[in-house]
């Protein structure tokens, strides 16, 4: 559903606007007025006024006439005065999309709990978006008009056509939507209202003789004749049409007709609230309208009196004109060098920041600079390209002929591509007008409305910048997949189009206010009516259905982003233009003459390659372009790639927060998945995400600056071209092996080719890494004199991430090393000690006690001083550290503190990190109450930090010793070779869902690194040995964390049942289809030969659409996005794309849902822990930053932060987290039936077969069980008795449920902590010789030796097979219930308070 957009959340100081007379035809409101439910309270329906005494009261009930202005009732939502000191977020609306939460939720009210406390939980109140049956099928009907078929695509085309004033085409699209899509009337009238408003906008700008009659006809033919219920906004538009059309005897007929269509109750207010009609319009209407009853006449008189009273300026306003005076212009600050005016017109904003400290500017000026940065980054890039091109021309050089000056060459690309797009724009009208459209015409009709929303020049610049960014991120000298390139390009172009639309609306709003200030005696549009002339509306956020409390009302279509079909068509056209127009000069050495030969070549090439047996399209940059990018950074970035120069905007909506102007989303959504967005918007509206959004705001408000000392060393190291720390060498010394002579043995040459490919891949990786690091240094150089900020959003699990992509504190060691807090804190009594501990930690000495770490720094003072005074020419001690650049930063900070007169008074800015001990295992140990596991992850007090990785390594060693005693060959081969490093990565990732194949690969990588000659020494392939070691690691984990192991199984079993369930809504639909089979469509051909609702067992099982949804302790709903999306072929001008486009109607991917649930659940818990900690740290005045489970603050505040971390963890786990989840599941999935598996050899299965004989179809059993459940739940004793007498498989099973266990889910063997999947459950693509069973296979020495004696070719022919153990079962529909919660261990989480090493 489409509703009006809220204004931007910025403070506006607006003048008092007086509306007396009509100066020009009134511009109607951007969006239609929506009907307000009768049960909406005055508090929920907040009026758009800031002074109550200036607005009249509203009638509240049918029996009460219009009251006087002194009545205590709700006021009319008309903006007549906006106080300058009031934030726009606080301006009330008639139907607020995001109402402010109650004080009890926000924590701002007196006596309310602090924000960092966990709120109460009611499982019955969790948000639920019901799963219904199939969505309307996509119409595949051919059309000669070049229109898409899906409702989302057609709605997007419709809105785009309105935005670019293509009303004729918009009418065609709307006709097709009505004809082939069964949309609700509420959605249809919204579309009609937008069309009518667009017609009014065109009429005001370009009056035409026939426009009024066409709109009158549209209303009669498309709205009245088709029975679409109109709204007051519709009538207001038609009244405006009547008043602006040629006056005559038809005017009275039109006015009386349209007003008679409205209910008499509140008729005038509802029309006036639409914002379409002015006071003068109402005066004209009052002289014409002849109401059919006295009540309507009285209502008109009262309304007119109130309107006139409201429009009359008050004495207070006249006496205090400065209270609501005009917004002052941004003051230019007098300064030397680069001033604000210069900043506004610089060629490249990023580089113009060098040497200028924006902190000298006022907050207003810095916000203006940030807004300019976000708005003008594209224009600034074009200006920079143009200037460098002109400078080369003045020097007598041409960018085309030169080999350097990348930016100058980009300007040639820009101008050439712009001309190509201008030619393409010229073909749009021709393609839409021609009757017999070719395939190219049809394609142009698809993407023309979207490209028209921008300009050729801007499209060209955005295309160039986006493509170069994508190639850089993927690896400058690697093949970039075409699909990924188009995805990124389409997203960037769409964001830029929406940014331009927002700028246009803001400019028009300012224009209307300026006119109002110039002549306050004349009638001007109010803010609500003048907010925009663009008819494009935003998607209505998901809301709770009236009277349903927590049931989310799903939007009919998603207009928050362009549909994937149209996204990729637009992106393909833009990319194709760049591929054709971008050229670069390539200089090579002639192989014979050795002369330097130059030639103009395409900058990019589009081709196809084979990857994993599939043919995919790729884009390859020219080697000359790669060399330019390697030596010269682009100097042009999109604003969303850069840090902010002011504090980010607070998050107030799903798409409002972070950057000031650039669009961004609160939750990162991939592949246009809707579920998470629907739930998140509903949670925001209900006020559930106050803690989450405020915590993200806390992270964004942390100020940063460049550590100039470290940056200077890094820049010097970079310019040497050598491999220093993690900087890759400019020219890596990786010689290719000599090519072998011709030999009859093809294995020799195959081995040589393999080594050559490995070296080429390594070279390519180092090259790409250096290119990416070059861009990071370029940004750091530009921002080295500034204070900057990282706005944050989060993924669907609640984990926070900074929005700037290239440089942020979550980057690699080189980025973390050059970042420090902008605000400093004195070290105080304990800060110096923590500064020393930080140095030991980043050096890699982090497993010792805190006292030993402090002593480590004291014992290396000379080396620390040498690292600071001679970082590149001295002993280079800092390069021996685990995190070299962070170590160097700690050295500089510690030296500065020790050299100061009083180290305790030294103002430190270095972030000191406190890292959790395998944070996922910490949560699992607390959930399962595992005392032994808790000890290994530092949840209990101890004198030294425990090391879970060393503990697991010891258990693996013990198991191997036992196998050695039993004569195992594999155990003997690995005896004495197990170290902490071998097991660390597998232990760390096992808790987050690593597969067994992934674990084997991790162990194999470590073993090959530690023991390069392992195969020659042991006689066993490393792949086989890694499989053996992985089994031992998994076994050790399952032993150490028994309670966590049981919880993971419980989570997996719950997920498996939910994914095999049908909701009550789906069951209702199935019953309805059985009673009233759908009629076959004669005119519309569906994409499948099967009926819309198939009766077969296979298609019934495809109805499983219930995904796993849960609520975090901070009330954030988490929705797992894993579904079996259809592969859809999208035809583009480059190639056909096979894309998986997820829909809410797709069946769930049960395996992914089940596997991902346990790790995602843990991720949501550690995210909640971090956000809670951020809130309390902010309240205590600490600077706070986080990298998932690594938390940063000043050295002086580490002790305080550690106390906060412990308290937050205890608060989360002092509650029954698993019990809370179980109660939520029971409430969320109540009434569902799931398809259970019962062992065929069990007594229950035998009883079912004996009682029922030949069982009916699966659907018949389903409906019969549904009827039984309905009868049992009835309040009528007779129906209950009838239900008890019914015999179904479920009723028979219930008699055995105490002794009969259901079969576990077939995928449950991959979710348990330390579990090894059964054979065949995972496909091993990397290991030639497979161990079939673990851990039994390692003892079968004879079979293993036989396998090892085979060549690789023979192994493929004689692949060992194993008869898969199969258990026969029968399917039974059961009420969806969940297994009992595993028993918790005796570990008390409050013991954590005394642990010094929980985070250290």
Give the residue numbers annotated as catalytic, written as ranges. 915, 984, 1189
Question: Which residues, other chains included, contact 934 with Cβ-Cβ below 8 Å and sequence gap of 6+?
Answer: 925, 926, 940, 1387, 1391
Question: Which residues, other chains included, contact 664 with Cβ-Cβ below 8 Å and sequence gap of 6+?
Answer: 640, 655, 657, 658, 791, 793, 803
Of the candidates 1004, 1050, 1052, 1054, the one whose C-alpha atom is nearest the C-alpha of residue 1027 is: 1004
3-state secondary structure of 445: helix
Question: Which residues face 241 on adjacent strands?
Answer: none
Question: Which residues, other chains included, contact 225 with Cβ-Cβ below 8 Å and sequence gap of 6+?
Answer: none
Separation CA 726–CA 883 (nearest Å): 9
Question: Which residues, other chains included, contact 204 with Cβ-Cβ below 8 Å and sequence gap of 6+?
Answer: 24, 25, 27, 244
Separation CA 155–CA 187 (nearest Å): 11
Structure tokens at 1098: 């296979």
Burial (CB < 10 A; 0-12, 13-18, 19+), residue 84, is: middle
C-beta neighbour count of 22 within 10 angstroms: 17
Separation CA 914–CA 1197 (nearest Å): 11
Of the candidates 1208, 1141, 1154, the one whose C-alpha atom is nearest the C-alpha of residue 1177 is: 1208
Strand order across the beta sheet in which 912-915 lies:
912-915, 1190-1193, 1185-1187
C-beta neighbour count of 365 within 10 angstroms: 19
Of the candidates 1205, 1112, 1114, 1390, the one whose C-alpha atom is nearest the C-alpha of residue 117 is: 1114
Determine phi and psi for 641, rounding to 5 degrees.
-90, -10
Question: Which residues face 914 on adjacent strands?
Answer: 1191
Distance between terminal CA atoms of the chain?
50
Of the candidates 976, 998, 984, the one whose C-alpha atom is nearest the C-alpha of residue 1036 is: 984
Q: Kindly report the three-state secondary structure assignment for every residue of 1055-1075.
A: HHHHCCEECHHHHHHHHHHHH
Separation CA 963–CA 1334 (nearest Å): 13
Q: DSSP per residue over 1307-1337, as a string?
A: TGGGTSTT--PPTTSS--SS-SSPP-STTTG
Give the position of tokens 């053996």.
Answer: 1028
Cα atoms found within 13 Å of the Cα of residue 169, Cβ hemisphere only: 29
* Percent of residues in the chain assigned helix, strand, coil, to nearest 5: 50, 10, 40
C-beta neighbour count of 731 within 10 angstroms: 11
Q: How big is the chain, counted in residues?
A: 1400
Separation CA 1353–CA 1340 (nearest Å): 23
C-beta neighbour count of 816 within 10 angstroms: 23
Question: Which residues, other chains included, contact 1098 with Cβ-Cβ below 8 Å and sequence gap of 6+?
Answer: none
**Where do runs of H (alpha helix) occur along 870-968?**
884-899, 919-928, 931-936, 948-965
Of the candidates 789, 802, 480, 807, the one whose C-alpha atom is nearest the C-alpha of residue 668 is: 802
Separation CA 198–CA 167 (nearest Å): 7
Separation CA 642–CA 782 (nearest Å): 10
Angle between helices 746-782 and 623-631 (to 10 degrees): 40
């Amino acid at each position: 559903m489409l509703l009006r957009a809220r204004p931007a959340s910025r403070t506006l100081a607006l003048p008092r606007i007086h509306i007396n007379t009509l100066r020009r035809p009134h511009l109607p409101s951007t969006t239609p007025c929506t009907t307000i439910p009768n049960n909406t309270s005055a508090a929920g329906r907040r009026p758009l006024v800031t002074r109550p005494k200036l607005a009249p009261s509203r009638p509240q009930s049918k029996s009460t006439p219009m009251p006087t202005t002194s009545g205590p009732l709700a006021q009319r939502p008309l903006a007549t005065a906006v106080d300058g000191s009031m934030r726009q977020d606080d301006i009330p609306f008639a139907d607020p999309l995001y109402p402010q939460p109650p004080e009890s939720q926000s924590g701002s009210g007196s006596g309310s709990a602090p924000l960092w406390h966990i709120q109460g939980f009611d499982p019955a109140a969790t948000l639920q978006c019901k799963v219904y049956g199939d969505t309307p099928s996509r119409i595949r009907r051919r059309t000669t008009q070049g229109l898409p078929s899906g409702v989302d695509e057609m709605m997007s085309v419709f809105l785009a056509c309105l935005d670019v004033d293509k009303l004729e085409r918009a009418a065609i699209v709307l006709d097709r939507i009505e004809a082939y899509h069964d949309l609700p009337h509420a959605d249809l009238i919204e579309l009609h209202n937008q069309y009518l408003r667009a017609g009014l906008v065109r009429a005001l700008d370009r009056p035409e003789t026939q426009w009024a009659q066409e709109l009158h006809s549209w209303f009669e033919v498309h709205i009245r004749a088709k029975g679409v219920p109109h709204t007051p906004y519709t009538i207001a538009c038609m009244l405006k049409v009547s008043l602006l059309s040629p006056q005559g005897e038809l005017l009275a007929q039109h006015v009386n007709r349209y007003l008679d269509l409205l209910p008499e109750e509140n008729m005038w207010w509802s029309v006036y609230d639409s914002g379409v009609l002015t006071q003068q319009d109402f005066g004209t209407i009052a002289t014409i309208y002849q109401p059919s009853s006295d009540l309507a006449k009285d209502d008109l008189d009262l309304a007119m009196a109130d309107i006139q009273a409201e429009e009359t300026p008050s004495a207070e306003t006249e006496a205090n004109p400065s209270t609501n005076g005009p917004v002052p212009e941004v003051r230019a600050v007098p300064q030397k060098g680069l001033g604000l005016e210069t900043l506004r017109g610089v060629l490249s904003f990023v580089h113009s920041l060098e040497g200028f400290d924006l902190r000298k500017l006022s907050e207003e000026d810095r916000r203006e600079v940030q807004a300019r940065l976000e708005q003008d980054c594209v224009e600034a890039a074009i200006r920079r390209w143009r200037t460098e091109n002109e400078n080369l021309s003045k020097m007598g050089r041409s960018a085309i002929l030169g080999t350097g000056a990348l930016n100058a060459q980009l300007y040639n690309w820009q101008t050439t591509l712009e001309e190509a797009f201008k030619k393409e724009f010229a073909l749009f009208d021709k393609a839409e007008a021609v009757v017999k459209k070719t395939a190219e015409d049809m394609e142009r009709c698809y993407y023309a409305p979207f490209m028209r929303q921008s300009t050729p020049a801007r499209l060209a610049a955005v295309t160039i910048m986006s493509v170069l960014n994508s190639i850089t991120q993927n690896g400058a000298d690697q093949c970039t997949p075409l699909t990924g390139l188009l995805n990124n390009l389409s997203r960037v172009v769409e964001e830029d189009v929406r940014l331009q639309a927002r700028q246009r609306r803001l400019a028009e709003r300012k224009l209307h206010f300026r006119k109002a200030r110039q002549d306050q005696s004349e009638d001007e549009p109010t803010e609500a009516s003048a907010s925009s002339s663009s008819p494009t509306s935003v998607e209505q956020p998901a809301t709770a259905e009236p009277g349903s409390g927590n049931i989310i009302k799903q939007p009919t279509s998603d207009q928050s982003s362009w549909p994937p079909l149209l996204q990729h068509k637009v992106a393909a056209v833009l990319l194709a233009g760049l591929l054709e127009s971008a050229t670069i000069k390539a200089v090579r050495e002639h192989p014979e003459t050795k002369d330097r030969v130059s030639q103009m070549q395409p900058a990019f090439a589009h081709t196809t390659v084979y990857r994993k047996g599939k043919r995919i399209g790729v884009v390859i940059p020219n080697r000359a372009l790669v060399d330019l990018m390697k030596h010269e950074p682009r100097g042009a970035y999109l604003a969303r790639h850069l840090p902010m120069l002011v504090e980010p905007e607070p998050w107030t909506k799903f798409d409002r927060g972070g950057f000031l102007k650039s669009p961004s989303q609160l939750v990162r959504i991939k592949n246009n998945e809707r579920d998470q967005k629907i739930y998140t918007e509903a949670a925001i509206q209900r006020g559930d995400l106050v803690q989450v959004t405020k915590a993200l705001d806390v992270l964004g408000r942390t100020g940063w600056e460049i550590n100039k000392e470290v940056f200077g060393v890094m820049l010097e190291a970079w310019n040497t071209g050598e491999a220093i720390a993690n900087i890759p060498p400019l020219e890596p010394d990786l010689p290719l092996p000599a090519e072998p002579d011709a030999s009859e043995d093809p294995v020799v040459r195959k081995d040589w080719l393999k080594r050559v490919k490995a070296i080429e891949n390594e070279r390519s990786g180092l090259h790409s890494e250096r290119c990416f690091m070059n861009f990071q240094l370029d940004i750091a150089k530009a921002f080295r004199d500034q204070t900057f900020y990282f706005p944050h959003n989060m993924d669907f699990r609640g984990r926070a991430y900074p929005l700037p992509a290239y440089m942020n504190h979550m980057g690699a060691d080189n980025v973390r090393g050059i970042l420090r807090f902008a605000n400093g804190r004195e070290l105080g009594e304990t800060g110096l000690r923590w500064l020393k501990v930080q140095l030991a930690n980043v050096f890699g000495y982090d497993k010792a006690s805190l006292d030993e770490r402090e002593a480590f720094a004291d014992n290396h003072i000379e080396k620390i001083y040498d690292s600071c005074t001679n970082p590149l020419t001295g002993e280079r001690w800092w390069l021996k550290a685990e995190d070299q650049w962070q170590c160097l930063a700690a050295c500089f900070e510690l030296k500065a503190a020790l050299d100061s007169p009083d180290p305790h008074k030294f103002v430190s800015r270095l972030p000191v990190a406190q890292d959790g001990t395998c944070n996922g295992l910490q949560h699992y140990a607390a959930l399962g109450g595992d005392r032994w596991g808790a000890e290994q992850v530092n949840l209990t007090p101890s004198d030294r930090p425990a090391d879970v990785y060393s503990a697991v390594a010891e258990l693996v060693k013990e198991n191997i010793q036992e196998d050695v005693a039993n004569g195992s060959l594999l155990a003997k081969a690995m005896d004495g070779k197990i170290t902490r490093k071998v097991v660390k990565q597998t232990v760390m990732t096992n808790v987050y869902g690593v597969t067994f194949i992934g674990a084997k690969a991790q162990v194999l990588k470590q073993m090959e690194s530690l023991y390069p000659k392992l195969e020659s020494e042991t006689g066993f392939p490393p792949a086989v040995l890694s499989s053996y070691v992985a089994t031992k690691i998994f076994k050790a984990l399952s032993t150490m964390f028994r309670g966590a192991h049981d919880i993971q199984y419980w989570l997996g079993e719950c997920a498996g049942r939910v994914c095999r369930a049908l909701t009550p809504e789906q069951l209702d639909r199935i019953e309805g289809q059985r009673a009233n089979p759908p009629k076959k469509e004669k005119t519309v051909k569906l994409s499948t030969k099967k009926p819309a609702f198939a009766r077969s067992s296979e298609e019934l099982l495809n109805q499983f659409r219930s995904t796993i949804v849960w609520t975090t302790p901070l009330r954030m709903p988490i929705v797992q996005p894993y579904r079996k999306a259809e592969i859809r072929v999208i035809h583009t001008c480059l190639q056909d794309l096979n894309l998986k486009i997820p829909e809410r109607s797709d069946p769930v991917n049960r395996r992914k849902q089940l596997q991902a649930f346990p790790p995602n659940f843990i991720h949501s818990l550690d995210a909640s822990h971090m956000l809670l900690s951020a809130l309390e740290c902010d309240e205590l005045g600490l600077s706070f930053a986080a990298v998932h489970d690594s938390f940063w603050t000043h050295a002086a505040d580490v002790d305080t932060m550690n106390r906060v971390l412990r308290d937050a963890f205890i608060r989360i786990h002092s509650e029954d987290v698993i019990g809370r989840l179980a109660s939520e599941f029971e409430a969320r999935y109540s009434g569902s039936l799931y398809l259970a598996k019962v062992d065929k050899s069990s007594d229950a299965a035998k009883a079912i077969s004996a009682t029922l004989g030949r069982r009916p179809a699966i659907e018949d059993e389903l409906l019969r069980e549904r009827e039984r459940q309905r009868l049992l739940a009835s309040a009528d004793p007779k129906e209950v008795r009838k239900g008890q007498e019914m015999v179904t498989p479920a009723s028979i099973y219930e008699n055995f449920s105490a002794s009969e266990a259901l079969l576990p889910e077939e995928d449950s063997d991959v979710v348990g902590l330390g579990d090894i999947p059964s054979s065949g459950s995972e496909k091993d693509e990397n290991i030639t010789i497979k161990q079939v069973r673990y851990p039994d296979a390692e003892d079968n020495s004879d079979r293993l030796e036989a396998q090892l004696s085979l060549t690789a070719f023979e192994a493929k022919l004689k692949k060992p097979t194993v008869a898969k153990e199969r258990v026969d079962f029968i399917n039974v529909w059961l009420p969806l219930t969940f297994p009992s919660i595993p028993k918790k261990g005796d570990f008390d989480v409050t013991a954590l308070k005394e642990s010094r090493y929980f985070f250290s």
